[in-house]
Amino acid sequence: MSSEFIRQLTDEMYLKRYSKNTIRIYTKYIKDYIRFHNYQHPQALHDLEVEAFLSYIVNVKNVSMSTQTTALNALVYLYKHHVKKPLNIQLNYIRSSRAPKLPVVLTRQEMVSFMTSVPVKYELPISLLYGSGLRLMECMRLRCQDIDFDYKAIRVWNGKGGKHRVVTLSEQLFPLIRSQIDLAKSYFELDMRDSNYAGVYLPHRLREKYPNAVYDLKWHYLFPSTKTSLDPENNNLRRHHMNPKTLQRVIKTIAIESKIEKEITAHTLRHSFATHLLEAGADIRTVQEQLGHSDLRTTQIYTHVLQKGGNAVVSPLEHVFQMIK
């Protein structure tokens, strides 16, 4: 489906600095919603039609709770920001009861195999995904000033849900981080010699509060792109952060080379971070804070992962083998 309405919607989200992935997902569900209602304009639809669609994707498509929630978020955005007719907060639709999948987690030995196959060029960002439990985009959006060497921590700003948090940082990564800051500085110095360079991107509210920050190294990305590009918001020349797809492709390649027979993504490293913290005796509330989960039940999925293995329940077969021996 390609229409002026969808194009305007996409451009609007782009200018609001929604990630490409969020735009892609939101656009998909909005298209599905319009298609479900025989291509009627969303202006002519509202609460009842949204309820029908959300119930349909559960009854017919059998989607998970998280997928249904994402579809709801897309439609909430559509009506609040684009159609300008916010939905009722008490929508009545059939909620998905499909249990969420257990996350894929690497064992410690698998992590060793994985990390030994990581190319030097990508060692730092991949180490941060596992060692600090960062989401992929949280890692890509790190600024040079977000690293706290004194307290061995990383400040994560505007993570999922717009939340801020402080996460742990391995001292083993200090040399790599200092080298990466030096690399970011070399790009910064190169760009500052270009009269067309408009500084690093900052959200509008920060641009107003710190008008000179766009030309300050500490605000520049820790993982800068190798090329400058034009900011779609105003056509200014800037240097954005590394393309997350590059790291995703590298992770898939490493997974193949390390011969680990699990589906490994950037989020698998975050899952492994949380599970290994719990295995080591970390309090679940601490893990919740490190991951930035607003609901403890989201974090508790990792306790289910542990309980599925031999850490919580000893198989009765163990006693039989001991008696045989």
| 220 tagged catalytic | no
Specify the residue for token string 């589906």.
263
| 41 tagged catalytic | no
From 20, 160, 285, 319, active-site residue:
160
| 81 tagged catalytic | no
From 143, 238, 270, 276, active-site residue:
270
Residue pair 162/320 in contact by the 8 Å Cβ criterion:
no
From 33, 135, 239, 276, active-site residue:
135
Specify the residue for token string 């391995």.
170
Angstrom CA distances, 82 to 74, 79, 166, 262, stand at: 11, 6, 34, 41
Angstrom CA distances, 180 to 198, 218, 223, 261, 263, stand at: 22, 13, 7, 32, 29
| 122 tagged catalytic | no
* DSSP per-residue letters across 106-154: --HHHHHHHHHTS-GGGHHHHHHHHHS---HHHHHT-BGGGEETTTTEE
Q: Helices (H) and strands (E) in the chain — how many of each?
A: 15, 5
* CB count in 10 Å sphere of residue 303: 16
| 304 tagged catalytic | no
User: Which residue, 83, 5, 12, 99, is CA-closest to 50?
Assistant: 83
| 267 tagged catalytic | yes
Q: What are the catalytic residues?
A: 135, 160, 267, 270, 293, 302
